[in-house]
Amino acid sequence: MKILNSNGISAFGGLNFVIAELDNKEIGKTLNETLPKLGAQSKYNWRDLLYSYWSVFFCGGDCAEDLSSNFKPNFSQSPKLKIPSPDRVLNRLKELAEPTTEFATSRGEHLHQFAINEKLTQLNLEILKRITKFTNTMVDLDYDNTVCYTEKEDAQITYKKCYGYVPGVALVGSNVVYVENRNGRSNAGILQSETLERMFTYLENHNIKTDRFRADSASYEFRTIRTIEKHTNRFYVKARMSSTMDTVISAVKEWEVVGDKEDGIFRGEVYYTPFKRAAKDYKMQDDLHEYRFIVTKEKRKDGQINTFTGEACVYSIIITNDQQSEPEDIVFYYNQRGTIEKEFDVLKNDFGWQKLPFSTLEQNQVYLQIMAICRNIYHYIINLFSKKVKGLQPNYRIKKFIFRFIAIPAKWVYRSRQWHLKIYGTINWYT
pLDDT at residue 45 in the model: 94
Q: Please list, in sequence order, all residues whose beta carbon lies within 8 angstroms of the beta carbon of residue 206, skipping any fewer than 6 positions away.
A: 125, 126, 129, 135
- DSSP secondary structure code for residue 263 in this structure: G
Confidence bin at 24 (pLDDT 50/70/90): very high
Is the predicted pLDDT of residue 408 greater than 70, yes or no? yes
Which pLDDT value is given to residue 272? 92
Instruction: State the greatest distance between any 2 C-alpha atoms of the chain, in Å, as a whole number.
Output: 84
State residue 179's pLDDT score. 97
Range with lowest mean pLDDT among 71-75, 253-257, 346-350: 71-75
What is d(CA 82, CA 430) in angstroms, rounded to the nearest whole number? Answer: 31
Per cent of the chain over pLDDT 70 is 99
Which element (helix H / strand E) includes 141?
Answer: strand 138-145
Q: Left if phi > 0, otherwise alpha if psi is -120 to 50, otherwise beta: which for 225?
A: alpha
The pLDDT, as a whole number, for residue 4 is 63
At residue 355, the pLDDT reads 92
Residue 167: count of CB within 10 angstroms of its CB: 25
Per-residue model confidence (pLDDT) at position 261: 74
Nearest alpha carbon to residue 215 among 198, 229, 202: 229
Phi, psi dihedrals of residue 359, rounded to the nearest 5°: -105, -5
H/E element holding 217? none
Confidence category of residue 307, pLDDT binned at 50, 70, 90: confident
Predicted pLDDT of residue 325 = 94
**Does 79 score more than 90 pLDDT?**
no
Q: What is the pLDDT of residue 260?
A: 78
Single-letter amino acid code for the residue at 172: V
| pLDDT at residue 218, as a whole number | 93
Which pLDDT tens digit goes with each residue over 120-146? 999 999 999 999 987 667 899 999 999
Q: Where are the domains of the chain?
A: 9-95+386-423, 101-349
pLDDT tier at 364 (50, 70, 90 boundaries)? Answer: very high
Average pLDDT over residues 98-123: 90
Give the model's pLDDT for residue 153: 87
| 3-state DSSP helix/strand/coil % of the chain, to nearest 5 | 40, 20, 40
Please report, rounded to a whole number, the percentage of residues in the chain having pLDDT higher than 90.
65
What pLDDT sits at residue 278? 87
Residue 307 makes CB contacts below 8 A (sequence gap 6+) with none
pLDDT of residue 279: 86
Query: In the predicted model, what is the mean pLDDT of residues 78-101?
Result: 93
The pLDDT of residue 49 is 95
Q: Comparing C-alpha atoms, which of 201, 199, 205, 181 is closest to residue 371?
A: 181
Per mean pLDDT, which of 100-109, 246-255, 357-366 is the most reliable? 357-366
Residues 220-233, mean pLDDT to the nearest whole number: 95
Closest CA to 126 of 361, 364, 369: 369
Supply the pLDDT for residue 357: 94
**What digits encode the pLDDT tens for the residues 412-427?**
888 888 888 888 888 8
- Kindly indicate the confidence band of residue 165, based on its pLDDT and cuts at 50, 70 and 90: very high
Q: 76-90, 239-253, 301-315, 364-378: which range is least confident on average? A: 301-315
pLDDT at 170 over 90: yes
Does residue 299 register a pLDDT over 80?
Answer: yes
**Average pLDDT along the chain:** 91
Kindly indicate the confidence band of residue 431, based on its pLDDT and cuts at 50, 70 and 90.
Answer: low
Tell me if the domain spanning 101-349 has CATH number 3.30.70. Answer: no
Environment class of residue 431 by beta-carbon count within 10 Å: exposed (0-12), middle (13-18) or buried (19+)?
exposed
Instruction: Report CA 411 to chain centroid distance, whole Å.
Output: 35
CA dihedral sign of residues 283, 289, 294, 298: positive
Q: Specify the pTM.
A: 0.92
Q: Which stretch of DSSP H or E encloses residue 364?
A: helix 361-385
| pLDDT one-digit tens code per residue, 202-223 | 999 999 999 999 999 999 999 9
Give the strand pairing for 101-104 and 168-172: unpaired
Kindly tell me the sign of the dihedral angle through the C-alpha atoms of 28, 34, 40, 43.
negative
